[in-house]
Structures are given as C-alpha cells and as structure tokens.
Chains A and B, each alone.
Chain A
C-alpha cells in the first residue's frame, strides 16, 4: 500500500499559523509543519506537553487538501475534553506542539480512485470528507460527487459558505444538507435524521450509483447511515467508515 510510511513517523514541531472560528463549537487550526504529503482523509497525531512533563496525545483528521501550504485541523470543543478546550481557549498563533503523521491507509480518497463518490458526514465527521472535496475540486472535477451532511443546526454547519461555493462552481458536485434540530433553510435540503427512507430519497435524486462511499461521524451516525446504505443495496465492500470517539455526544445524527 502506498499509504505505508517507509520510515518511522517521527514527532515533529508544529507551529500554529492562525486559528479561525468555523462554528460555535469548531475552530480550524492552521499549522506550519514539515510533515510529508498526506492523502485526503488521513489524520495526524498531536502531542501536547505540560510544564511538568505530562503529555497528552490525540488524533485529528486533516481538513486541508493534499498539497495545501498549511495543514488544517478542525477541532471540535468537547465539554469534558482535556485537549480540545486548549485549542479553543488558550492556543494562539506562534504556539508550538508536536505532531506526527500523516496516518491511515483506508479512509482515504485519491483522484485515481474516481467515482461516483458518495460522502456522508455527521457533525465534525465532515472534516476528512472536506479534505476529499477540496482535493477533488481542482484535480478531478469530472468525478460525480454527492456530499450529504447532517448537522444539528444551520450555524453548526462547518465550511458552509465554502461548500455552497464548491457546489455553485461545479455541476458534478452536489450538496445535500440536513439539520436535525432546526428547520431547513432551502427547499432542496432536509431537517431530519438521515434514516433509511431519507437516504433512499437522496440517492434516488442524485441518480448516480456510488463506486466509493465514505461515512464519518459519531458511532451512532455511522452505524445508522452505513446500515441504511447496505439495506439500500450499496455493497458493504465499497463503504468505508470512520467513527469518532465515544466520549462525545452524538453529533448531527
């Protein structure tokens, strides 16, 4: 597999270039690092060190497209979190910590993988899918792609404006939003959970048969959506899943 690193993944210094608020609960942290090139969908490990030497590690999906100048992590604030509140409340440009990666050889999409490409994200599960959408736009715009994104509210839709811009600029990129705790804003969107009935309707409207499907979000979201896909005749073998932790509440599902 090409995603297997040939040398050990060493811890390297990363410096924060800027922090951008995306939603009330998510910030993007842009990093300057010397990490090797990543594939869309991969993640990095980060390590923070306290003055007394105590260390904490976490994994975060990469939001930026392969080749982007800065490495972007989108970090959701978990109320009881040990690490995410640091990025929301304390971190500022110039701060440094350690990072290693990129990691993961399964939940990745490359232009050569082609499509039709079906992306399904719940809450912050959209982050690795965003890397795929951003990668696809310049290098494989002919790839039929549908991003179905479930968030709790309109204001919690990460990358909302960028997604609208991607959709407007590209007839092969379709976006369907569903908000689970707020009425929809557009008639072609939805405001309920991605249950089997809704998913069937969305896929029928899309009209393409997916060759690759990527599902990312909380475990409850991924379980519900991936089993609905299988029930709808999508082969299990083309469905790749990534499930975010267990200690965060169910997001956008």
Chain B
C-alpha cells in the first residue's frame, strides 16, 4: 500500500538494476563495527588457516605479501542498506591461499575470525572459485584500520558483515557454525539478492 505523499527518488534504471532489494546507493564508505577499531601491528600480524582447532598453515605479514595477488572491482552491499558501486580491492585470492597451504577443503563450512573477537560463517563454496579474497588494499592504498586493515575478508556477493574486518584466522568447521551477528538476529547465509538480512528471512 502506498505511503501518502511519498514519492522518493527512484534511481536511474542502470543503477536500479545493480541494487539488490531494499538497498540504496551511496558514494561514501560508511563504517559499521561492533566495537572499537583494534590497532593491529603489522610486525605482530599473523594469519592462520586452520581445520577446527588444528592449524594448517600461517603467514606473517611479509610472507603474506609474497603470495600471488588478486584484483577485483565491483559492488558491495551492507545489510544496513547502503550499496557502493565499483569498489576496487586487491589482496590474496582464497584459491591461491588454499593452494599455497596445499589444502583442499576438508569441510563445506568455514568461520572467519578477527582480531577484535568478531567472527562470521561463510560456506567454503562461497570463498573458493574466485569468489573471495583476503583484501589488504583498497583504491590502490593499504586498507585503513576503520575499514578492516591490515587485512579483511572480502566476499562481495554476500552482505558485507560476512567480509570480516581485521582478519586473523580462517577456520574450516565440521558444522555450519553461527558467528557474531548470526547469533544476534542476522541471517546464516546473507544473500543480498534474496534479501536475507535477518534470521529466518527466506
């Protein structure tokens, strides 16, 4: 039912076609985090790939910087309803990471864990196959701390809370384990095109 007196500002067709339902376009890069921005020192930074509680491989910052690089440019969508178009990222593709570690996924599920205690679940199928990276650069410059630097997960086809900031570990899990927001009312998968914002959304 229409809201009396509301006409809104519908975006042009070419913009609307790129906006998932309920989203609007912004040119800013809003920041949303559950707590303070952690100060992650590069000299102490370590990223670990693990299977459950068992580490498979880990990288210091300089080791990580020597892994093959991947670039991606495209649209990102935050569950708070903003979408940002044509964002340019650079980092290490998850396929390259798995190859460097010599693993094929031992499980279909993964949990991304952050330096601030945050975590979020993402199916491995959504990480592999060129669909995700660990991003260390944005718009050609090192990723700012408030946007998740030194390194964040980037899974652009899911709502952006899945792209964990301040990434510390990627862990294969036997079950699909809910992460921080998934335990607090948000969807287990989070596909923006199906508008899977909250628990029990279809």
B43 within 8 A of A: no
Contact: A239 with B1, CB < 8 Å?
no
- From known contacts A105-B183, A223-B37, infer whether A245 and B82 are also in contact, taking CB-CB under 8 Å: yes
Contact: A5 with B35, CB < 8 Å?
no
A95 within 8 A of B: yes
A1 within 8 A of B: yes
B contact residues, total (Cβ < 8 Å): 42
A96 within 8 A of B: yes
The interface stretch among B6-14, B51-59, B69-77, B94-102 is B6-14
Contact: A97 with B3, CB < 8 Å?
yes
Once the chains are docked, how many angstroms separate the CA of A246 from the CA of B26?
A: 8
- Residue of A with least CB distance to B27: A247
Contact: B31 with A236, CB < 8 Å?
no
A160 within 8 A of B: no
B2 within 8 A of A: yes
Kindly identify which residue among B5, B36, B116 contacts A229, using a CB–CB cutoff of 8 Å.
Answer: B36
Task: Please name all residues of chain A whose beta carbon is closer than 8 Å to the beta carbon of B80 when the two chains form the complex.
Answer: 59, 245
Contact: B5 with A86, CB < 8 Å?
yes
Once the chains are docked, how many angstroms separate the CA of A243 from the CA of B116?
A: 17
Task: Please name all residues of chain B whose beta carbon is closer than 8 Å to the beta carbon of A1 when the two chains form the complex.
Answer: 183-185
Contact: B8 with A50, CB < 8 Å?
yes
A3 within 8 A of B: yes
- Residue of B with least CB distance to A56: B8
Once the chains are docked, how many angstroms separate the CA of A226 from the CA of B145?
A: 14
A51 within 8 A of B: yes
Contact: A48 with B82, CB < 8 Å?
no
- From known contacts A246-B29, A246-B31, A247-B26, infer whether A49 and B185 are also in contact, taking CB-CB under 8 Å: no
| Min CB gap A220→B, angstroms | 9
The interface stretch among B124-132, B151-159, B194-202 is B194-202
A208 within 8 A of B: no
A32 within 8 A of B: no
| Min CB gap A146→B, angstroms | 18
Task: Please name all residues of chain A whose beta carbon is closer than 8 Å to the beta carbon of B2 when the two chains form the complex.
Answer: 49-51
Question: A47, A83, A106 — which one has the most chain B CB atoms within 10 A of its CB?
Answer: A106
B30 within 8 A of A: yes
Task: Please name all residues of chain A whose beta carbon is closer than 8 Å to the beta carbon of B201 when the two chains form the complex.
Answer: 8-9
Question: Restricting to B119-178, which residues have a CB under 8 Å from any CB of A?
Answer: 146
Once the chains are docked, how many angstroms separate the CA of A83 from the CA of B22?
A: 13
Task: Please name all residues of chain A whose beta carbon is closer than 8 Å to the beta carbon of B42 when the two chains form the complex.
Answer: none
Task: Please name all residues of chain A whose beta carbon is closer than 8 Å to the beta carbon of B38 when the two chains form the complex.
Answer: 236
Contact: A49 with B1, CB < 8 Å?
yes
Task: Please name all residues of chain A whose beta carbon is closer than 8 Å to the beta carbon of B180 when the two chains form the complex.
Answer: 106
| Min CB gap A123→B, angstroms | 15
Contact: B26 with A90, CB < 8 Å?
no
Contact: B6 with A48, CB < 8 Å?
yes
Once the chains are docked, how many angstroms separate the CA of A219 from the CA of B23?
A: 20
Contact: B185 with A103, CB < 8 Å?
yes
- From known contacts A5-B200, A54-B8, A103-B185, infer whether A227 and B1 are also in contact, taking CB-CB under 8 Å: no
Contact: A246 with B30, CB < 8 Å?
yes
B81 within 8 A of A: yes
Contact: B36 with A243, CB < 8 Å?
no
Task: Please name all residues of chain B whose beta carbon is closer than 8 Å to the beta carbon of A47 when the two chains form the complex.
Answer: 22
Given contacts A49-B2, A219-B146, 20 further A-B contacts (CB under 8 A): A8-B200, A47-B22, A50-B3, A56-B6, A56-B24, A57-B23, A58-B81, A59-B80, A90-B5, A106-B180, A219-B31, A223-B146, A226-B37, A229-B36, A239-B35, A243-B30, A243-B32, A245-B80, A246-B28, A247-B82
